[in-house]
Each structure stands twice: as C-alpha cells, then as structure tokens.
Amino acid sequence: MADQTLARYVNERSLLRLLRVEGATTRADMARQLKLTPATVTRLVAEMAERGLLREVARPAATEAGREPGRPGVAVALAPDGACFLGVEIGVGVLRFALIDLAAQIVSSSERKVSSATSPAAVVAIIAAELAALSADPAYQGRIRGVGVTVPGLVTLDGFVVHLPILGWKSVNLSELLSAATDLPVLVENNAAAAAFGAVYTEPRLPSLCTIFLKLGTGLGGAAIINGRLMRGAYGTGGEFGHIRIAEDGIRCSCGQSGCLETFVNLAALARETGDDQGAGLADLVALPAAVAGAAAAGEARALAAIETLARHLARGIVVLVNIFNPTTVVLGGVMRPILPLVLPLVERDVAEHIVPGMRMPEFRLSSLGIFECAIGAATLAHQRAFGLPELGTGEGES
C-alpha cells in the first residue's frame, strides 16, 4: 500500500509538471511522455480533476492524427485557480506580495511601505494580516496552499536567518515565527536565490541547463540553478556571489572584507561614480539608475563613464562564475534594471574576452519578472515544494 501511495504521489507531480511545461496535452500524449499506461493516466486525471487541479479543454483536430477535420479533440490542462501560493519579499523599508496560481502565473501583487527598523515579529504580523485578507477573498478562499518569504541576507536550509545587517537582524528563527502565525506550509529563502529560481521556474521551456542569476541593488546577491535545482550548498548559505573578491582593496564590505564584487557594482558604487553620493538616502539611491539611464541616453559623459565602470567590474565577477559553472544562461535583475540594457552589451564584450579560451559563452538575459521578482520567486518555491519532487531527484528542487 505504501508503494502504491508513493507511486501515485510521483505520478501526480510528474503529470502536473508536464502540463505546466508543455501546456494542454492529451491523455495519450501524457501516457507516452510519462511512460504510464493509458488506464493509469485516465485514473489520475479523473482524481485530480475532481480535486480541482485539472480540467478538460478543446484541442483542434489538426493536432491529433486520425481525427476527422473540424472535429475537436479533448486535451487536459492545469486548472489555474486550483491552487495559489503567496510570495513575500522582506526588503529595506518595503514588503512586496505576489500571489501565483497553479500555472505559476501572477494573479495579484502589492507592496507596503514599512520602517526599515521594523522588528521580525512586527513584519510577521503584517504578513499574517495580508495572508488572512487574501484567504478571506472569495477568489482565493481555501486555495492558498503555501507561503514563501525572502530576506536579503544569509538563510539556512531550515529558514533560520543567520545575518541580515541591512535590516539589523541577526540569529532570527524566521521560519518558526511564520509557522506560529499560519497553519500553511512556509519557507524562508534568500531573496536573490528566490528571484533566480523564479526566473527559471516561470519560463520552463527556455533552454537552461545551468543558470547564473545576479540581483543588483543595495548589494549584489546571486544564485545558481542547475538542471532545475537551486544550488544552496551544504547548509543553505551558498551563492554569496557578491563577495567574490575582485580587488586587493576598496570600500569595506558589509561582510567586513575589502575588494568584494558587490561594493563595486551596487547602488552606492553607482552614486560614487556619478557624484550623487553626498547625503543620498535609500529613496535617492533606488531612483538613481533611472536617472543615470536618462542621462546616458542624452549622451552625458559622466553617466556613460559610470555605466562603463560598473560593467567592467561586474564582468570581472561574471568571468569567475562562468569559468566555475560553465552556465548556459546568465540573468541580471534587481533595482539596477533601468541601466542594465546599457550594461549588458559591455559585460558580454568583456566576459567574451576574459573567460578561459574555448569556454562556451553563455546567453545573457535580463530578468522579465520586474520589481516583484523576489516575491514571485518565493511563491514559485512554495509552488515547487507543494507540487514538485525535490526529494526524489526528478530535476526540480534544492540541493
């Protein structure tokens, strides 16, 4: 009986993943691709449709061999409203919320300004209130299956925030606080790691055996996704790409060292290069990339030089990552996005010149998730935990 239960669990999640990636598919195609008997697929589809996870949709006859022209076939698709997942980004002075459906599409997003000195308990209370409000909405009532939360700092595999200097948090069992505030499954993840996972998970048909994601903002976070798996290291705190050392000296980093990559490519570095660092607050820094992009478009020399300098430093770090990981794709995101279209070709040029000769150049992309990328990523992690197979080595999950 236990073996049958496990087999059904594996088959259900394999079927859900297939439909998420491929879209509407006939029962015959599902049986062929998953190497299951038609009877097994028919039974699974019936059970999952009854639970509101799947639905039948019309499929044009031209796509099915053997059918008469004009007669529609029947395919099976995900029922997007069958389940929802909430993602939350705890940022500096802001909380961002994103709700995704079973098809991993965004159905709702919002943000709330908070004091940058807000305590962990107060933040959890705000998250719980938002979750309660969404759960009471008839559109989502009874459908929210899990919650993912991100923070811009070190997080262990069990959701313990080790160090979060930008918010003044240290040694916070955030997972425990969240679990006490809701009966839903919760997870806690580093913000850049979540954004990286979301960038891959929401576009599953894009070829990407290995993706490196870099999030540029007040710091520089990063993550590697290999064969659909978020690589976190033995204890969950890997992927601190911002602390690759690219110089012997420089501005002292939040980690206590000098020469870290993030100190050369973050918002403060951009402000120094443009001369806008005198008395600049967080709001000024966040608005700076758009202002620099505008100035560069107008041909202002200092803005163009600042972009060139930032790109040169960023390329040094990416060269190290490309030489180590040999990625298929490098994705850039974060609040620097207004200048990233200008940075990207410069980075590509420098990386091509300095990676190990013979190493294949990765494809460079900009994140398509926008300002809610961390919250969306957190929601996709909750989605994957509910409907993926991380513990069975099927190519999705964490490592």
Is residue 59 predicted with pLDDT exceeding 90? no
Q: What is the mean pLDDT of residues 165-182?
A: 93
Report the percentage of the chain scoring pLDDT > 90. Answer: 67
Confidence at 293, pLDDT banded by 50, 70, 90 = very high
Neighbours of 166 (CB within 10 A): 16
Ordered structural domains, the chain, with CATH:
2-78 (1.10.10.10), 83-197+374-398 (3.30.420.40), 206-367 (3.30.420.40)
Confidence at 209, pLDDT banded by 50, 70, 90 = confident
How does pLDDT run across 124-135, given as a tens digit for each residue? 999 999 999 999
Distances (CA, A) of 68 to 6, 27, 72, 210: 40, 19, 9, 43
pTM for the full model?
A: 0.86
pLDDT at site 264: 96
Which value, in Å, is the radius of gyration of the alpha carbons in the chain? 23
How does pLDDT run across 221-272, given as a tens digit for each residue? 999 999 888 888 888 888 899 999 999 888 898 888 999 999 999 999 999 9
pLDDT at site 279: 64
Q: What are the residues whose beta carbons fall under 8 Å from the beta carbon of 219, sequence distance 6 or more? A: 152, 166, 242, 254, 262, 266
Is residue 149 predicted with pLDDT exceeding 70? yes
User: Quick one: DSSP state of residue 81?
Assistant: G
Distances (CA, A) of 312 to 234, 286, 317, 342: 32, 21, 9, 12
Give the three-state DSSP class for 25: strand
pLDDT at site 66: 47
